[in-house]
Amino acid sequence: MKAISSIIAAAIGQYVGASVKTDQIKIKVVDTLVSEGITAALLVAPKNGADASFYDSVKSAVVAGFTATVQALLKKDTKTLSDSQKSDKRYWQQQVGSKIKDLRNALVKREAQGEAQGEARGNVASFEARLKRDIVKYIAQIEKGEAFGFPVAEMLKHLKNASVLIK
């Protein structure tokens, strides 16, 4: 077989067209998340005992994008479902996590691009990078200084420990 058939070519064209449209929508969603101050770290499931209200609202937004049938299935008590329905429900619950992970990964990528662009312009984009830079600057100033009204060695120890904590 030297070339694909027109049927295969049409199917590939439909697939590519749909995936490009999906990518464009994802970019718009990420733009909106960034404009609202949402970071990738906020799209991580909270640990036990932590406030989960924000993460739950994100999950609800994802579920709202599913069909009414899937939404109804996800609301049902698992104990009342048949084995087949339980399997379907588990699949759709996994899809919720997968969609959130897709958005989180897109935010991670966007945040990394923002930091790289900020550093290229001479500006440090992230708060952590600015904080680390400022702490290093204070350490240098304190080491050069002579008379302070506080224990210098203790202050330097704390600043250096803080600097190490910031990645």
Residue written as token pair 């960034």 = 34
Q: Tell me the two tokens of residue 155.
A: 């202050």
Global pTM? 0.64
Mean pLDDT of the chain: 86
pLDDT given for residue 88 in this prediction:
97
Give the span between the Cα atoms of 66 and 45, in whole angstroms: 20
Q: Parse the chain into domains and list their residue ranges.
A: 1-37, 38-124, 126-167
Residue 45 and residue 93 in contact, taking contact as beta carbons nearer than 8 Å: no
At 124-147, the pLDDT tens digits run 457 777 787 788 778 777 777 777
pLDDT given for residue 92 in this prediction:
97
